[in-house]
Amino acid sequence: MARYSQEHKDATRRRIIETAGRRFKQDGLDGSGIATLMADAGLTNGAFYAHFDSKDDLVATVVGEELGRQAAEFGELPPGRAGLEAFVHEYLSPQHRDNPDRGCPSAALLDEIGRCTAATKQAYTDGAQAILDEISARLAPEDPGSARGTALSLFTMLVGAMQLSRAMADKELSDAVLAEGIQSGLTILAATSTS
């Protein structure tokens, strides 16, 4: 089976990227091998190198794709500040906690990204800036730059709280982390609502 059209190759590449995104977020960057990942995508290991130079190349691509998607998803939220409140509730939900494969790449992978290649860190950096831009623009539409600090505070708190809730051995404690995180998130939003 071979010699397909460019659209077919693009579709296969996209399928690998999306499968890898799910697996990486579920099992970690080191916890997902190429062979398993390709089998998940309905292919064999050898085909991988028709699409990517190396695993590092895939990681950088996936990280860029995941963060770009997350930034774009802000467009689906209710407009303005209300959208951020909805985001806080969705982000710190049990569904998000229990399904990392469909969730935030930062919550699943951020400490590992700090140990990755320069290309991966660059892809992450670009994507994170886009996300912080989205948050800032909703906090202070007339002067987004002034809300950078608040946006960063909200984002890092959410990421830390989700990681913490996933690390809790006890479900009640984990739920409490989510609930208190939501309160903190809304407080951070409220603290700037008059500006």
Partner DNA sequence: TGTACATCAGTGAACGCGCGTTCACTGATGTAC
**Residues in touch with its own copies (CB under 8 A):** 27-28, 30-31, 100, 106-115, 118, 121-122, 124-125, 128-129, 148-150, 152-153, 155-161, 163-164, 166-170, 173, 177, 180-181, 183-184, 187-188, 191
Residue 48 CA to residue 186 CA, distance in Å, equals: 44
Q: Which is nearer to its own copies, 37 or 161 (CB)?
A: 161
The number of C-alpha atoms within 13 Å of 104 and in the hemisphere containing its C-beta is 25
Q: How far is the CB of 126 from DNA (least distance, A)?
A: 23
Return the CA Rg of the chain.
18
Binding status of residue 118 toward DNA by CB under 7 A:
no
- Site for DNA, residues 11 to 70, rule: CB under 7 A: 12, 32-36, 38, 43-51, 54-56
**Cβ 20 to its own copies shortest distance, Å:** 17
